Structure 1
Amino acid sequence: MIKRSSFYALLVALCLPVAAFAQSNVAFGGLKHDSSLPIEISADQLTVDQASGAATFQGNVTIGQGDMRLSAGKVRVEYATGTDTTGEISRLHATNGVTLVNGAEAAEAREAVYTIATGMVVMTGGVILTQGQNALSSDKLTVNLRTGTGQMDGRVKSIIQTGEN
C-alpha cells in the first residue's frame, strides 16, 4: 500500500543535491528526511470527485513536512481503482508553477507528474534546480526514484560557483 511517505519520497528526490556538471544525466545524493513527521496541506479550495477517484487542491497549495515544502497553484491527487487499492495514491499532478524546497535545495517547473507504480517523476517547463549558489536548468527533468537517478533534457545549462572571488 502506498503511504504518505511515497509522496514525500518524491519531494526528497527532487530536492537532493545534483551533480555539478553540464551534462544531461544527473545523479541524486542521499539526503535524509523523516517521513514520520506530520503532513500539513493548505489550499484555497479542495474538490473531491468520487467517480474519477481524484482530489484536487487548488489556489496557493502548500504541502509541508518538516523542513520540506511543495507549493503549486493546483495539485491533483489520483487514487488507484480496483478492489485491493482503496485509498492508494496512483499519481500526483502539480501544475501552475511548482516549487519544491528543502533547506538550500530547490526545484522549480511549470508542472510535475509523479507516477507511483513506476517511481517516475517528470518535471516540465522551465525546470530549474538549485543547490546553494549552483544551478542547473532545462526543459525537462525525469527522475527515477527507484534508482535515484535523473536526466535533464532540452538545452541543459549549468552555473557552477567555484568558490573563488
Structure 2
Amino acid sequence: MRRNMPMLRPLITALTLLAMPAMAQEVGFGGLKADVSAPVEVAADSLAVEQDSGRAVFTGNVVIGQGEMRLSADEVTVEYADAGQSRIKSLHAKGEVTLVSGEDAAEAAEATYDVESGHVTLIGDVVMTQGRNVLTGDRMQVDLASGTARVDGRVRSILQPGEN
C-alpha cells in the first residue's frame, strides 16, 4: 500500500480541491506577466464617442490588446481619465468576454479592466482554462502585473494528473 502512495497524492489533492467548491482559490494566470505600461489597442466594428461624459463605446467584434494580453467582447465602454481623451482610465466589457494571456484563457459575461492598476475583474459564469485544467467560479480578479488571479463564488476545479 505504501508503494502506491506517491501515485495517489495527485488524486487526493484534486479530490480535496473539488470537495471545497465554495472557497476562493488563488491561481497563476498568464505564462508571462502582462506589460501594464504598454499601449492599449482597440479594434471594433463601430465607435460612438460621448464627449461630455469622457467615454467611448466600441461595439461589434471588439478586440483589445495590451502587450501579450487580448480581451474580446461584444461591447466595450472606455472611460478616459481626462476630458482630452488621451489616457484610458478603465474598460468595461459586456457580452461573450474572453481574456487571453499566454496559454491561459478566461471567459465571462462581463469584465472591467482598471488600466491604471492593471487589474481585470471578470464577472458571471467565469471559466478559466490552463492547458487541460479548468477552473470555474462566479468572479475572477486578475492582477496582470503579478500574473496571479483569485476566483470567488462557487469555485470548481478539474485538474489533470501530471499537470501544474
State the TM-score, normalizing by the size of structure 2: 0.70
Which whole-Å CA distance do the structure 2 matches of 1:47 and 1:129 have between them? 31
Give 1 or 2 for the bigger CA radius of gyration.
Answer: 2
Relative to structure 2, which stretch is displaced further, 155-164 or 24-33? 24-33
> Which position in structure 2 is the counterpart of 1:50?
51
Which whole-Å CA distance do the structure 2 matches of 1:80 and 1:114 have between them? 13
Change beyond 3 A, Cα 1:80–1:144: same
Work out the number of aligned pairs and report it. Answer: 143
- Aligned counterparts, 1:115-130, within 5 A: 115-130=114-129
Which whole-Å CA distance do the structure 1 matches of 2:33 and 2:142 have between them? 17
Deviations along 1:15-54, one digit per CA (max 9) or x if unpaired, are: xxxxx88352314366155789886532111111111101
Structure 1 residue 64: deviation in Å? 3.9
**Unpaired stretches in structure 1, ≥5 consecutive residues:** 1-19
Q: Are 1:74 and 2:50 counterparts?
A: no
- RMSD value over aligned CA atoms? 3.2
> Which position in structure 1 is the counterpart of 2:28?
28
Which whole-Å CA distance do the structure 2 matches of 1:55 and 1:98 have between them? 18
Larger RCO (alpha carbons 8 Å, 6+ apart): 2
**Unpaired stretches in structure 2, ≥5 consecutive residues:** 1-13, 18-22
Counterpart of 2:61, as a letter, is: N
Structure 1 residue 116: deviation in Å? 3.5
Which whole-Å CA distance do the structure 2 matches of 1:147 and 1:123 have between them? 17
Which whole-Å CA distance do the structure 1 matches of 2:67 and 2:100 have between them? 11
Deviations along 1:76-134, one digit per CA (max 9) or x if unpaired, are: 1100137xx86221111011110122453101100101224454321100001101100
Q: Are 1:98 and 2:101 counterparts?
A: no
8 Å contact from structure 2 (residues 62, 72) kept in 1: yes
Structure 1 residue 66: deviation in Å? 6.6
Change beyond 3 A, Cα 1:105–1:143: closer
State the TM-score, normalizing by the size of structure 1: 0.70
